[in-house]
Structures are given as C-alpha cells and as structure tokens.
Structure 1
Amino acid sequence: MDIKLGQGIGEVKFGMTRAEVVSILGEPSEKEVLPPFDGELGGSEAWHYDTIELSASFDEEEGFKLCSLAASSTDSLFEGIDLIGLSQEEVLQQIEILGLGDVEIETIANEEGEEQIVASIPEVSLNLWFEDGHLSEIQWGPFWDEEEEEYIWPE
C-alpha cells in the first residue's frame, strides 16, 4: 500500500467517515476511545488493524473524520520505498533527497521510560518514529492550512 502525504494510503483518504473506512478496510482488530489531549475540545477514536499494521485516528472535533494514519508494515511504501526498519541516517537521507521540508528531531520517553526519537516535518504533516535507531512507524495526516487553521481535506 502506498502512503500518500496529505491524502491517505491506498483507497483510504483523510476526511473519510468511520463507515467509509470500514467499507474499505473492514472492522478493526481493536478500537480505543481517547480523551481530549492538551486543550483539544473533543476526544478521538483510534482503530488498529493488526494484520496490516495500520492505525487510523478519528477526531471528535472534526466530526470523527479520519485525521491521521500510522503504518509500521514493510508493505507500506513511502514514495515507492520501504523505509520501515531502515536506520535513522538512511531514512533522513531519503527525506532530504525528496525535499519534504525541515526536519525537527525530538526524543520522547514513554510511560515505561523507554525513549523514542521522532523526526517531524510539519510542512507535510509527517512524523517518523524511531526505536533503537531504526524506523518503526510512519505517522501522517492531512495537510494543514496555517492561515485558516484547518485541515486541507483531499479531493
């Protein structure tokens, strides 16, 4: 399945309803209801598709439209390349070649105290998550209109 920045993956597009996503991917392996995050007005629902290693998030504030995806499968190709499992250096080289924008790197500790590195490219709504120096997950969403402060939903 091809990851399309600002668009989605395969036939799944940002802005779809939960019913539309189910019609394409089927029922998820697991559903999580998440409370509002730091100043957000509504919570969200995260759906996990274990067999294809894909997660989908629907935000209440956006009428439960599909607002982000996260892929951790080597079957999820980014610009035709399998980035999952590559070293941080190799991934960042590919990102530079693609000219996607400035990369912001941050170290984040989870609840168990384990550290992950996230490389973010806000211009294209992309987060690259690294564990033990290798890419473990690609997370992306629709593009963001800074002036209007709203998502730019794909056609």
Structure 2
Amino acid sequence: MINKDIRLGKGLGKIKFGLTMEEVEELLGEPEEVEESDEEDEFEHQAWNYWEEGYSLYFDKEDDYRLSCIETANRDVQIFGERVFEMSRQQVLQLFTDHEVTNPEEEEAETGETRISFEKEMIDLYFDEDQLIAVNFGVFINDDLEVVWPEK
C-alpha cells in the first residue's frame, strides 16, 4: 500500500469504504489472517488482518460484507497530512481542532489505555499514556443511522 492517508468517512489511500472483499484482495492481496466474529458479537463480520502492514479491515454482514471499518497501528499513516503516530496526545487533539473536528469523548480502559473518540467523524484514537498506539475509523453514518458510502 503506497498512499497512507486516512480520509475520514472515505478510507485509507486507495482502500475505500464500500469495496467488496474481492476488490480489496485485488488491491492488497490475500490477508495474512481472516477472523470471523463470535456469536456474542453485536454485528456479524469478518476481519482481514494484514499484520505485516499493520492493518485490519472489517467487513460487516449487515453491509453485504463491504469494507466499513479499518484499524491501523502503521506508524506511517497520516491524518490531515500529518504523521499522527509521531505526535503527542495533545498535538493530535490540536490537529483535529485545527481541522474543525471537535467534541472528543474520552474513556479510560481497564488496561490503562485511553480511547479518544470523535463520534460524528467515526474515528477512535487509542493512546497508551501519551503515545498513540492505534487508530480505528469507519464509514460515516447519517442521523437516520444509515451508512453513507463514499463515491467510488
């Protein structure tokens, strides 16, 4: 994967939300691991893990197994043109504020990690102390709770 720009609500580089599993495989090749959701999971899904690249891609059954969420720990990804994994928590929050993304919700996990979420923008940032360790972001959902797929 060459372009590592996270585009909120749209995807990561060429990997756009709404792509089918076949389209993703064409772009990235076969995943290193495929995980099926457990019965107790709220949404039935498949996760394709590309461990070497630092990406997990999620396909929800409810969305006809189209790509709807990406989680990454790849230190080269960028948000708003900035390499966020090289920034402090305060710098990341300022970056979002500078791009008019506001109203973060913060939650402390039992493991000691902090999750900062921007619900409207469908992005979660996971920090271990001051270090960003993972970003999870998904396709936008409108006020009627309907998925808003980006144009292909």
For normalisation by structure 1, the TM-score amounts to 0.89
3-state secondary structure, aligned to 1:3: strand
Structure 2: give runs of 5+ residues left out of the alignment. none
* Contact in 2 for aligned 1:85/1:136 (Cα 8 Å): no
Question: What displacement does 1:36 show?
Answer: 5.1
Could you tell me how far apart the structure 1 residues matched to 2:86 and 2:106 are? 18
2:147 counterpart residue number: 151
| RMSD over aligned Cα atoms | 1.4
Corresponding residue of 1:26: 29
Q: Quick one: which amino acid aligns to residue 59 of structure 2?
A: F
TM-score (norm 2): 0.91
Give the distance between the partners of 1:124 and 1:115, measured in 2 at CA.
24
Q: Percent identity?
A: 31
1:62–1:90 CA distance, 2 compared to 1 (3 A):
same
Q: C-alpha deviations, 1:40-90, integer Å up to 9, x for none?
A: 3x4111111112111100111111111100121122111110001422112
Q: What whole-Å deviation, never above 9, does each CA across 1:88-137 have from its counterpart, x for those lacking one?
A: 1121111111111310001122xxxx221111001111111111321111
Pair 1:15-2:11 in alignment: no
For structure 1, the residue ranges without an aligned partner over 5 or more in a row are none
Distance 1:34 1:133 in 2: 31
Q: Say whether residues 1:116 and 2:113 are aligned partners.
A: yes
| Secondary structure of the corresponding residue to residue 57 of structure 2 | strand
Moved over 6 A (4+): none
Q: Which residue of 2 aligns with 1:86?
A: 87
Q: Distance in 1 between matches of 2:86 and 2:32?
A: 23
